[in-house]
Amino acid sequence: MHKRAEIKSKVVEMLQGSSAFSGNVYKSRYLPINKSDFPAASVYCPEDSSEIAASGEHYNRSAKVAIMIYCKGYDASEAGDDSGQRDIDSELDDLTSSVEEIFFSPWQTLEGTVYRMHLINTRYMVDTKSDDIIGVATMEFNAEYKDSLI
């Protein structure tokens, strides 16, 4: 198994252990997620890089890990919400906080899968064009690991 696949599998496993997504965690950026499955998360690696270590004994490699979080809510600025949903900003904040609690540590190693993993950035987007207001947060992490020279 390639290291990227191992990293994705470990991230998915750790997120599925969280109550935030009720098991709705997927290992793909392309998997269509039904609104009925929200909140949900998808995990993928958009890029990776490598360089030969100064010692020449191994590669220092890193893989970006993106966790996309999907949820439904309502616009808090609209009066009279009767959907029973939370406002979209609060929902996104709580879900990203749940992910941060799992992965936001300078010593995060994904249980030994990587040397370290740290948060790079989080981007938020809200789609108000459909019947449901959909919130999406993309959290990018950098997972660093060592790989032997071939």
**What DSSP state is assigned to residue 150?**
-
pLDDT tens per residue across span 21-77 = 888 999 886 666 788 888 999 999 888 887 776 676 777 788 888 888 888 876 655
- Strand, coil or helix: 143: strand
Q: What is the DSSP string of 31-93?
A: S---GGG-SEEEEEEEEEEEEE-TTSSEEEEEEEEEEEEEEEEB-TTSS---SSPPBHHHHHH
Tokens of 70: 């999907």
CB 11 within 8 A of CB 43: yes
Residue 124 has pLDDT above 80, yes or no: yes
Residue 6 has pLDDT above 50, yes or no: yes
pLDDT, the chain, mean: 82
What span, in angstroms and rounded, lies between the C-alpha atoms of 38 and 90? 15
> The pTM is what?
0.82
What span, in angstroms and rounded, lies between the C-alpha atoms of 61 and 81? 48
Per-residue pLDDT averaged across 108-131, rounded?
85
